[in-house]
Each structure stands twice: as C-alpha cells, then as structure tokens.
Structure 1
Amino acid sequence: MAQRIFDQEFLKRLDSLSIVSRKVVTGRAKGERRSLRKGAGVEFQDYRPYVMGDDLRYVDWNIYSRLDKLFLKLFVEEEDLCLHLLVDGSASMGFGQPPKLEYALQVAAALGYIGLSNLERVALAHFAGELTRMLRPRRGRGQILPLLDFLSSVEAKGPTNLNGCLANYALRNRVPGVVVVLTDLLDPGGYADGLKALLQRRYEVFLLHVVSEEELRPQLRGDLTLVDAEGGDSREVSVDRGALERYQARLHGHFAEAERFCARHRVDYLRTSTAVPFQDLILRHLRRGGFLR
C-alpha cells in the first residue's frame, strides 16, 4: 500500500508536517512534543511566582536570597500525544469513483505516517455496525508498515452504527488524545451521541466528512430503481430537475446540520469531496484548517 499511495516527493513533504493539538494530554510514555511545566525536565525555560501548594524542591533559593520572594523554576518537558484514526468501513463508503473508503484510507495512512514519524502514538480502528478491528496505540517509524497493512485490509461492507461504535471506542480506550473520525455521516441513527461520547472522555475530535462527487452532483435522469447500499431496500423513483433540486436542498441541509453541531460542541469539521486529490487535502486543506503544520 505504501508504494501505491506514497511517492518519494510526497513522503518528503509529509516528513515536514506534524499534528496540531489544542491540548496535549500527558501519557505514560514521552514523545517529541514539549510543553512548559514546573519541575524537572530537559531544558530550563523560565520562572513564575510561587503559589501555595507548589513543590518547594523547585524554588530557586538564589533568587529568594536576593529578592526575598519565592519563584519556581519552569522547564520544557516532553509530553505525549496519541492520535486515534477511526475509519468508517460501512457499505456506503464503497460508493463513488474513487470509492469514499479508498479515499479515507489514503488520508488515514498519511496522517498515521505523520504521527509515527513525529514519535507520537497512533491507534487505528475501523467500524461499521460495530468496531470491526482495532490496532492499539503504537509509536515509531517501525510501525508504519503494520499501520499500512491494517488499512489495506479494510473493506466496505455492512450497515453503519456511528453512535454505538464511537461510544464503544471511547469506553474501551483509556488514552485520550486527538481522534480523527473519517466517515460519510450516512447513518439514519445519526452521529451526535457518538461524538459527544468521545468529547466526554476528553478526546479532541476532528471530523472528516467524506463525500463522493456522485453524491454532490448526481448525473441521474429518468425512471430508476435506487437500492440502499447498506439495508438493501429498493425504491422506484422518477428523477427530473425538480427531484434533483429537492435532493440538493436536503443534502445541503445535512451538511449545514453537521457544521452547526460541530461548531456548537467544539468539534473540528472538514468536508471534502473525493474529487479533491488526497495529497492536496493533506498538504493544503488540513494545513490551512490548522490541523497540520
């Protein structure tokens, strides 16, 4: 899979990128990410006034002897970020050219590569009606091939249960961090409760909404039989200009609802068409949106 989606020039550009987190969660292991903290660390950075309850071991007594005031030493200390990549592998993700799932897997592979190259921990899962398979958090460039092997095994099949799968993932993983949910949001049961479950477990949530060009601009006319990719139900329809206009209105209402929910709950949201080259999504749109730098 690496040879199919990553050429050397793209790899070089990925090597210069890193994940941006609004809040870094300290884990048991340490990576390259650093933050200002009191106490022993790797590099002295600054002072701040002592407040009741601070550890006296980190008071600078030389300053106290000169100023008769207590100041605490601050150091730059390594912190750890865990990147969680959750890929919707339900049957509807197999729709389009290229299929939405193929596009989502390419994006997930690139983000996983960036995380592992920066010594972040990276976890993977794909889901449909349930959590199908999970890869526990791992670190280092040596984990890139296992990550790609995992992603190459994902197939689009089965119904969707976004709420149940996201809530289940939040409960089963005790290492919060940045979670990227790659999905088409096509679930009659909705997605709000699942995203809220991640937020309640202190995940920083980024929702990548993948839409095919065929869904955005369907080239359909006449009397047709439409079949639900997941439920198998069929419906006879007559498609004319009026039907397409009603479809567009409902589609953009669906988009607007997702945008409002994410803005209200501080979920980072980006909608992308599969017509946008995934390299451009990574190198331009995700950087412009502040998710990568």
Structure 2
Amino acid sequence: MAETTPAKPTLLEPEFLRKLEQLSLVSRKLVSGKIRGERRSKKKGISVDFADYRNYVRGDDIRFIDWNIFGRLDKLFLKLFEEEEDLSVYLLLDTSKSMASGDPAKFEYGKKLAAALGYLALTNYDRLAVTAFSAGRTEQLEPIRIKNRVWRLFDYLSSLSCDGPTDLPNSCRDFAIRYARRGIVVLISDFLDPTGYEEALKALLSRRHEVFAIHLMDPEEVDPKYGGHLKLIDSETGEEVEVTLNAKLREVYKKKVAAYVSSLQDYCSSRGIYYLSTRTDFEIERLVLDYLRRVGFVR
C-alpha cells in the first residue's frame, strides 16, 4: 500500500514548509555516494548534465518525463542525467532533561529546528537520519530519503520526550560508530554537560563528518531577570542550591556564561566545526530562512 503524507504536519506551518522547498542544505567540504536524476553538486561542477533516455516505468518520478518526446511519439521516456553525488544528513538532537527548560523550551525549539532541516534534506532527496539522545538512551529514525515519507520525520520528532542527564561524549561516540558514511552532522544541544563538549565533538570529527554545532540557549540562561533569595534546582540531578542573586552576582554569572559560549565557539572554529548559538525566543523561520542562508549553510 502506498504511503501518504498527512495534510498538515504539527511541528511547522505550511507556509514555512513551502518556503523551505525553495532551499537546500550546502556541504562546503564533502559529498559522497551516487544517485540519478536529482539535485547534487558534482565533483567537476554544479550543473546537471543530460545523459540519455529510457522507457518510463510506473513509479518513476514524473518530473523527469520528456513531454516533448511524448507529444511526438505518444510514448513516455524518462530523462537520465550523469551520476551526481548525494548527501548524507545526520541530525543529533539532545533530549536530556536540561533541554526541557525555557519558554519556549529548548527541546521544543530543537524539535522544530530539526524538522525544518530534515524537511530541507528530504525535499532535495538527501539521505536523512536522526538520533535523539541523553545518557544511556538513544532513539533512532532510520535513514530515509523520499519526500513523501516526511511524515515519518514529523511523527518521530513529535513522539520524543526529555529524560535523563546529558552524556554528550558517549552519545556522540555511539553515533560515530553507528554511522560511518561521511556526511553533514548537525548537533542540536544546550551543551550543558559537566564532562564538557570536547570529546563529543572529537568523536564526530573522527569520521570526517562536516559538523555543525547549534547551541540552544534559554533567554533566562543568558540574561536572568529573577533576583533575591532563590533555590536553584538542577533539572538533571535534582541537586538544590540556595543563593541570593543580586545585581553584582548576576553580572558575574552573565560573564561566566559569555566566557563559556566564547570558549565553545573558539573550540569549534579551531577545528573546522561550524558553530551557531541562538536563543529560543529567536524565530525559527528567521533563523533558517535568513541567518542560515547568510552563513552559507542553506541556499
């Protein structure tokens, strides 16, 4: 039985999806694998060169039927193109408990961002796989590459929940072992792991993936508005700390956050990892359609 797509995905608005269909993800370093008849950047250029015809077979993509020949011969022929390189796109989404914080929650923002990037990949027939992770737990969406199965991506993302502490190093090592085929890896996380981020990013680079690190931050994490006597509870460990937050301590905190972000950004830059930090109050559409286009991640 043919698979059908629900009329309206729950994560992204239809108008946003229509805009995404005009774009594609861009690899600056690599492409590998072969596919016929779709958009790919070739090793010796970016054009798509016609190669031959063959008889149309039921199930072929009707976009590549040569209607001029049909008009002359009353037969359906499919245009073939030179073999071009297809792209593997891997989305890694942090689902640890710390991602549940924020308004909107970092987790909800991350799911929508993953939905948008995944939709971009499938629109262009890239090979897409998604991994959701926290300590000791991973949930996989096995590779898909057909746009009419995009509902699987949306259903999968909608079904996810936050649970457990963060374990970036082991999660990324497990991913690197599972997916050896080179591709674009987009790591979406708040990077709140007490063990650090270095080993996690090294694991992704060990497979020679092209890595994009997208750092999600709750506005209150960047610039807290609350003050006075507070009880702070670690969302992942449950540890409680009582503090009195005054203006001076708030400034100290903000400087430490800025230093951490700067350190992560410098680490990524020094190793060829593309880094982006965004607050969850920044519109997803603006992030993808404007900012990611300006930095060359999509076009």
Which residue is equivalent to 1:32?
A: 39
Query: Separation in 2 of the partners of 1:130 and 1:143?
Result: 29
Per-residue deviation, residues 59-87 of structure 1 (Å, max 9, x unmatched): xxxxxxxxxxxxxxxx9531110110000
The match for 2:132 among 112, 117, 126 is 126
The match for 2:203 among 197, 220, 233 is 197
Q: Answer yes or no: is 1:249 the counterpart of 2:255.
A: yes
Letter in 2 for 1:36: K
- Please say if residues 34 and 83 of structure 2, whose CA atoms lie closer than 8 Å, have aligned partners that are also in contact: no
- Please say if residues 92 and 229 of structure 1, whose CA atoms lie closer than 8 Å, have aligned partners that are also in contact: yes
Q: Report how far residue 191 of structure 1 moved.
A: 1.1
Which residue is equivalent to 1:239?
A: 245
Query: Separation in 2 of the partners of 1:15 and 1:112?
Result: 11
Q: Report how far residue 137 of structure 1 moved.
A: 1.6
Query: Separation in 2 of the partners of 1:260 and 1:136?
Result: 33
Q: Answer yes or no: is 1:156 the counterpart of 2:167.
A: no
Which residue is equivalent to 1:221?
A: 227
Which residue is equivalent to 1:9?
A: 15
Map 1:93-132; keep pairs closer than 5 Å.
93-132=99-138
After TM superposition, the structure 1 stretch with the greater mean CA deviation from structure 2, 29-38 or 233-242, is 29-38
Which residue is equivalent to 2:267?
A: 261
Which residue is equivalent to 1:50?
A: none
Runs of 4+ in 1 over 6 A off after TM superposition: none
Q: Report how far residue 36 of structure 1 moved.
A: 3.2
Q: Report how far residue 146 of structure 1 moved.
A: 0.4
Which residue is equivalent to 1:285?
A: 291
- Please say if residues 30 and 210 of structure 2, whose CA atoms lie closer than 8 Å, have aligned partners that are also in contact: no
**Partner-residue secondary structure (3-state), 2:281:** coil
**TM-score normalised to the size of structure 2?**
0.83
Query: Separation in 2 of the partners of 1:26 and 1:36?
Result: 10
- Please say if residues 212 and 275 of structure 2, whose CA atoms lie closer than 8 Å, have aligned partners that are also in contact: yes
Q: Report how far residue 16 of structure 1 moved.
A: 0.3
Which residue is equivalent to 2:73?
A: none
Q: Where does structure 1 lack aligned partners over 5 or more consecutive residues?
A: 45-74
CA RMSD of aligned residues (A): 1.9
**Count, aligned residues:** 261
**Partner-residue secondary structure (3-state), 2:33:** coil
Query: Separation in 2 of the partners of 1:36 and 1:43?
Result: 16
Map 1:134-149; keep pairs closer than 5 Å.
134-149=140-155
Greater C-alpha radius of gyration:
1
- Please say if residues 185 and 209 of structure 1, whose CA atoms lie closer than 8 Å, have aligned partners that are also in contact: yes
Q: Report how far residue 131 of structure 1 moved.
A: 4.3
- Please say if residues 5 and 106 of structure 1, whose CA atoms lie closer than 8 Å, have aligned partners that are also in contact: yes
**Partner-residue secondary structure (3-state), 1:4:** coil
Identity %: 39
